[in-house]
Structure 1
């Protein structure tokens, strides 16, 4: 069995510039370089080797999470090594489906079981990630509890500053005015609404089914004296009520699900007044493609990364004019780097909060999630994007015709 796995590694990382050593269960080894290894992969059972042979990288990852494989070194190097030996950007873009047939079937089966077609299922999927208790997120987010890509403009020195940059960047794009009604769909712990209410004088509404976040947001609003400025609709995005001057959704469109993009955009257009401005911020592919199975199974069940092209097509059908599209892909790598660093530095404190929930399996799952995603946004053949689409309901006559207003001090 080891000889077959050795051949798989030789084909996948043999040409990588990163020195890697693989130690098999029988004690034999494979090294792609004579230099001291920067990354070591240690198989602890025959089953873990078989899992890698059958499921390739996905099998290695699942064995790592289950502690049947140990990985020493920076996890990001594993993604970087595979990218160096993998297909080019254009080749990956032309491949809309997961090439591994077993993983493609598992991804299909996941959609059947966990797709967000029913609101009840969508709520369960959201709670799976976000309703684990706020303690976990305190350990790796910035003090504002902003759980979306930050904005690392020139001179930014910290995650907290980068998140403040992002919040204000969004508010400037929306051209918020005092007294306007702003809806934030999936507002998390309320960072955008607090910033918009305090700095721009708007009246905010958060729409989210996640109980822990909503309770935290309501308590924080009372502490800030904003309870009459911020309201909460604890419901799915398809159940939004009211009409608003401005619309925002940061990092939640990905939770709509493969078959529910139209429902999301219909709701988005339906709650925005004529001439209103909105901003949709989301992880995406440039065109419709399968979403990574590991993320769907272990992190965001039912999730789907929309294609930019399909998103724009549907927005056009509902009379939404695209005003601006910005790609923050490289900003997300830096954001995830900071989250991963914070998580690892604060892991012991989190583990002490609840050693049964936050156990070694959870630690490995979250380390893989944050580190692998960081590198997947960074590699030369990365197909992940982070788009901000600014739009108006109907053709605008008032929105600025250049971007100068975004950068005025």
Structure 2
């Protein structure tokens, strides 16, 4: 057995105690780790080069190997493999990758430095790869953020509607309010607020694909007089808004720009206004972005710890009115996304290729497990300038999560005219 096979075997023998992992090493020999069970996970590592890369930097190279088929699943599902590794190794932290991890944390400010030109490139890397991809697995309204599940059996479409309703209540909207939506995506939340709450919404995004489809949807729904969308960096905005909402965008800001972000929120928010920031957050405290995610999925992205956010909010002169932690809601959202994506994997392969399908599957699985195992949650931060900007208790947030009827949605998945226009 080679040096790298010996190192890998020794590490796995010490680490794998729950479940059963069978590894076929490059020389064709199989080693078994963990307990006897009826459904072991069996993988094959195809070369010494791939084995060396995985041993030296598993956080990056495990995903690389799966994408490039340097590591192949012979039995079990990708979820089974990563859940087994997370349960036995990742949840405890691995000392074997200490140097790469240390270097990433040391230089994270460089990785998260997002001036305007770089932010636009980072957004294009993920969001401008084609709206047809997102139609494969998102709900009909194309909400690409954590849904809200009042009951376990809630469908994805209903859970996303409940999320939008929950946010609307937290904004304490009044008819005629002017709302700023920072990172408006494909426009679903802005249109929902305008139609249900009778407000005007200005949405900004850096994604050309999202902007085009959002405009088409607003026109089709007859909401162009109350909703408008702009390709714009939040740092360039001027004027004052009654309410500000930002869902799933703060993860792209980067720690070096947090003060800039919240200073802009404070400058744009009216004296009696309310802001709602919805972001993924990390529970263990400050860290660094997973290198595989940073390379292939979200360059420049970073999931913040609450301890990194609150001091900057205070310095910006904003009042924290409420903080809600949504636990496991995103795990359920990602589970639904993956099921839908795998059901349409053949379509995804036609749009891109088999390597892309493996990459996207790895992204969805690792993301779900990060919530399942408690590393990540969702923070909803309700902010204002006055202590009395919202009611004194949370009663107004929970009238009856299932009672409100659905409103007509302009579905980019089903509306043929929108789809045809979006391709132009």
Under a length normalisation based on structure 2, what TM-score does the superposition of the two structures give? 0.88
Q: Distance in 1 between matches of 2:152 and 2:377?
A: 23
Greater Cα offset, 361-370 or 58-67: 58-67
Does residue 102 of the first structure (1) align with residue 100 of the second (2)?
Answer: yes
Q: Matches of 2:60 and 2:367 in 1, distance apart?
A: 14
The structure-2 alpha-carbon separation of the partners of 1:128 and 1:98, relative to structure 1 and needing over 3 Å to count, comes to farther
What is the CA-CA distance between 1:35 and the residue it aligns to? 2.8
Deviates more, 1:283-292 or 1:183-192: 283-292
Tell me, yes or no, if structure 1 residue 371 matches structure 2 residue 365: yes
What does the per-residue CA deviation read over 1:100-137, in whole Å, with 9 as the maximum and x for residues that have no partner?
2124436766864x544321011000110000010110
Out of 291, 294, 311, the position equivalent to 1:293 is 291
- Alignment partner, residue 47 of structure 1: 49
The one of 176, 181, 186 equivalent to 1:184 is 181
Contact 1:351 1:359 in 2 (8 A): yes
Decide whether the 8 Å contact of 1:258 with 1:303 is kept in 2: no
Residue 75 (str. 1) matches residue 78 (str. 2): yes
Whole-Å separation in 2 of the counterparts to 1:236 and 1:253:
13
Q: Which secondary structure does the structure 2 equivalent of 1:259 belong to?
A: helix
1:387 to 379, 393, 400: 379
Normalised TM-score (structure 1):
0.91
Q: Give 1:177 deviation, angstroms.
A: 1.4
Matched-pair contact (CA < 8 Å) for 1:79–1:376? no
Q: Does 1:10 align with 2:13?
A: yes
Distance 1:12 1:166 in 2: 39
Select which of 337, 340, 345 maps to 1:339: 337
Q: Within 1, Cα distance between the matches of 2:293 and 2:249?
A: 15
Would the aligned equivalents of 1:142 and 1:160 in 2 still touch at CA under 8 Å?
A: yes
Structure 2: distance between partners of 1:98 and 1:315: 37
Q: Once the two structures are superposed, what CA deviation does each residue of 1:197-221 show, in whole Å capped at 9, x if it has no partner?
A: 1110110011111100000000000
Residue 81 of structure 1: how far off its partner (Å): 2.1
Q: 1:84 aligns with which of 81, 84, 87?
A: 87
Aligned to 2:355: 361
Q: Structure 1 stretches of 5 or more lacking a match?
A: none
CA contact (8 A) 1:180 1:203 kept: yes
Aligned-pair CA distance for 1:350: 2.3
Deviates more, 1:240-249 or 1:144-153: 240-249
Q: Structure 1 residues 288, 253: closer, same or farther in 2, change over 3 A?
A: same
Partner of 1:20: 21
User: What's the counterpart of residue 146 of structure 1?
Assistant: 143
Point out where structure 2 has 5 or more consecutive residues left out of the alignment: 401-424
Q: Report matched runs for 1:94-243 at 5 Å.
A: 100-105=98-103, 112=110, 115-154=112-151, 156-243=153-240
1:29 maps to which residue? Answer: 30
Structure 1 residues 67 and 108 mapped into 2: Cα distance closer, same or farther (>3 Å)? farther
CA shift for structure 1 position 59: 2.0
1-structure distance, mates of 2:127, 2:6: 42
Displacement of 1:359: 1.2
- How many residues in Structure 1 have an aligned counterpart in Structure 2? 394
Residues 262 and 312, structure 2, Cα contact 8 Å, conserved in 1: yes
Inter-CA distance 98–236: structure 2 relative to 1 (3 Å threshold): farther
Partner-residue secondary structure (3-state), 1:100:
helix
Structure 1 residues 266-345: aligned runs within 5 Å: 266-286=263-283, 287-345=285-343
Taking the aligned partners of 2:134 and 2:306, their CA distance within structure 1 comes to 29
Task: Check 1:120–1:262 CA distance in 2 against 1; reply closer, same or farther (3 A cut).
Answer: same
Identify the residue that residue 65 of structure 1 maps to in structure 2: 67
